Amino acid sequence: MTQRTQPQLARRLGLFDATMIVMGGIIGSGIFMNPSFVARQVHTPFLVLGTWLLGGLFALAAAFIWAELASARPDVGGQYAYLREAFHPLVAFVYGWVLLLVIQTGGMAAVAVTFAQYFVQLTNIPISFPILAAIVLALLTIINCLGVRAGSTVQSVLMVLKIAAMVALVVCGLFIGNTAASPGGFLDRPASVNLLTAFGVALVPVIFSYGGWQTATFVAGEIKEPRRNLPRGLILGVIGVVVLYIAANVVYLRVLGVSGLAASNAPASDAMRSVLGNFGARAIAAAIAVSTIGFLSQSMLTAPRVYFAMANDGLFFKQVGAVHPRTRAPIVAIALQGFLAIVLALQGDYGSLLDYVVSVDVIFFGLTACCIFVFRRRLTDTEGLTRVPGHPITTIVFIAACWLIAINTVFQNPRNTLYGIAIMLAGIPVYWFWRWRSSK
């Protein structure tokens, strides 16, 4: 009598899917809202564009680092697996813990609330923002429970629509809109600690806007030829996003000027209103709604694979590691993430969620980049592996930048960021509880 095997994840995603997942994990609501935050901190076009360019270089450096890690360890769980293999299961567990309670669910809640705000403004339906955000999160949870192919198809379609919307914004802004006045010169104040601090504060929402490339590695176990397709998808996806983001900010500055950008609560809508009137504003509001839905769809698709890996390591509820025999999706992990994101969406606001998500996220970005040094020392067969250009200098600079951003975020917003760090530290005793439980 043959023993029935447990259903496993299926490899059904190719290079196009991987690239769209990378781009979909990055482009959410940030590029449509956060440029205003940046312009309130730094007040010349040079500094505004420099902030976004530096953020883009940060993301590109990360793409190469994660590409090497993905080619060396094409495992289910991605970043979780790298931390587990390079350091200790405790480090990986704490990452998965804060991913579930802070990073992923907090980011999803913030974006869902943003979607609700734009959608209600667009349609005038009588519903509260938190309730609509919760409904959208519930629907996307159900879709992704139908399987990775269903979730990826929805994600890819929404990503193509997002790219089309951003290209339309750039083309209209560059070739139709009038040019607004902006201050000349490179700096808005003398070179000083004050300028450096302001630049650091401006980088926080930029890093949030560029974040998300790493989530593509979570679905490594469902990508065809992951050693080849995942690194390529990471690099192509991040390059595409950097080009779109820089172009969008050029348009904002051209149409609104620095002062107009700083005063705007919805720069994309205000820029399109200036170019095409109310029709333009409503069109870009619809595009933003689609963009945020696409980000949420990508989040629902990717992160549950980390909780799935934790459960299979005996560090979480066993049911979370279950795969549905027909859809081949980790439906309990997906449902758990959806539920917690809904809870946060019903309680939190965009600003506080942004603070504690970024501070914890960049700590683990730095730790994950450190895995490169460990894997390079251990690996004997390096043929065909993607390599980080300029390593170790570029990797060290990336790690230092991550931890400096974390320190600066704590300094500027101590209450919210320390709340996120407290949740992270609480994961340490929880890990030992699960180790004790699984050893019984």
Q: Report CA Rg, the chain.
A: 21
Task: Give pLDDT, residue 7.
Answer: 56
Rounded distance between C-alpha atoms, residue 189 and residue 191, angstroms: 6
Task: Write the secondary structure of 298-355 as one string of H (helix), E (strand) and C (coil).
Answer: HHHHHCHHHHHHHHHCCCCCHHHHCCCCCCCCCHHHHHHHHHHHHHHHHHCCHHHHHH
Which residue type, as a one-letter code, is found at position 61? A
Q: How much is the pLDDT for 297?
A: 77
Environment class of residue 136 by beta-carbon count within 10 Å: exposed (0-12), middle (13-18) or buried (19+)? buried
pTM over 0.85: no
Please state the domain count of the chain: 1
Residue 196 covered by a domain: yes
With respect to residue 102, please indicate whether it lies within any of the assigned structural domains.
Answer: yes
**385 found inside a domain:** no
Residue 144 lies in a domain: yes
CATH of the domain at 417: 1.20.1740.10
- Residue listed under structure tokens 């950008």: 261
Task: Determine contact, residues 233/67, Cβ cutoff 8 Å.
Answer: no
Cα(368)–Cα(96) distance, integer angstroms = 13
User: Per residue in 324-341, is it b (16+ CB within 10 Å) or e — as a string?
Assistant: eeebbbbbbbbbbbbebb
Q: Write the CB contacts of 80 (distance below 8 Å, at least 6 apart in sequence).
A: 92, 95, 96, 99, 218, 306, 309, 310
Instruction: Tell me the C-alpha to C-alpha distance, in Å, between residue 261 and each of 26, 36, 180, 288, 375.
Output: 22, 5, 10, 17, 44
Nearest to 301, CA basis, from 79, 141, 436: 141
Note the pLDDT of residue 356: 64
CB-based contacts of 160, cutoff 8 Å, min separation 6: 20
How many whole angstroms separate alpha carbon 147 and alpha carbon 299? Answer: 14
Main-chain phi, psi angles of 4, to 5 degrees = -75, 130
Here the tokens at position 115 are 């979607």
What pLDDT score was predicted for residue 303? 79
Measured in whole angstroms, how far is the alpha carbon of residue 72 from the centre of its chain?
A: 22
223 φ, ψ to 5°?
-100, 135
- Tens of pLDDT along the chain (440 residues) come to 334 455 555 566 778 888 888 888 788 777 887 899 899 888 888 899 999 999 999 899 898 999 888 888 876 668 888 999 999 999 999 999 988 888 888 878 878 887 887 788 778 888 888 899 899 899 888 887 776 556 567 767 777 887 888 888 888 888 887 777 666 667 766 777 778 888 888 887 888 788 888 878 877 777 888 778 888 888 999 999 999 999 999 999 999 988 889 888 778 888 888 888 888 888 888 887 877 887 787 777 777 888 888 888 888 888 887 777 776 777 888 889 899 889 888 875 555 556 667 778 888 999 999 999 999 888 766 666 788 899 999 999 999 988 888 887 777 778 777 888 888 899 999 999 988 887 76
- Determine contact, residues 167/27, Cβ cutoff 8 Å: no
Which is nearest to 249 in space by CA: 26, 2, 411, 34?
34
The number of CA neighbours under 13 Å toward the Cβ of 84 is 19
Residue 209 contacts residue 55 (beta carbons within 8 Å) = yes
Determine, yes or no, domain membership for 386.
no
Cβ neighbourhood burial of 135 (10 Å; 0-12, 13-18, 19+):
middle
DSSP 178: P
Contact between 337 and 303 under an 8 Å Cβ cutoff? The reply is: yes
Distance CA(325)–CA(149), nearest Å, equals 14
Q: Is residue 2 part of a domain?
A: no
- For residue 315, which of 81, 79, 96 has the smallest C-alpha distance? 96
Look up the domain containing 67 and give its range: 15-379+391-439
Nearest residue to 164 (alpha-carbon basis) of 235, 49, 244: 244
Supply the pLDDT for residue 226: 79
Let me know if residue 82 belongs to a domain. Answer: yes
| Long-range CB pairs of 281-284, under 8 A, 24+ apart, other chains included | 282/122, 283/168, 284/32, 284/165, 284/169
User: Which tokens hold the place of 307?
Assistant: 């909780």
- With respect to residue 10, please indicate whether it lies within any of the assigned structural domains: no
CA distance 220 to 93: 18
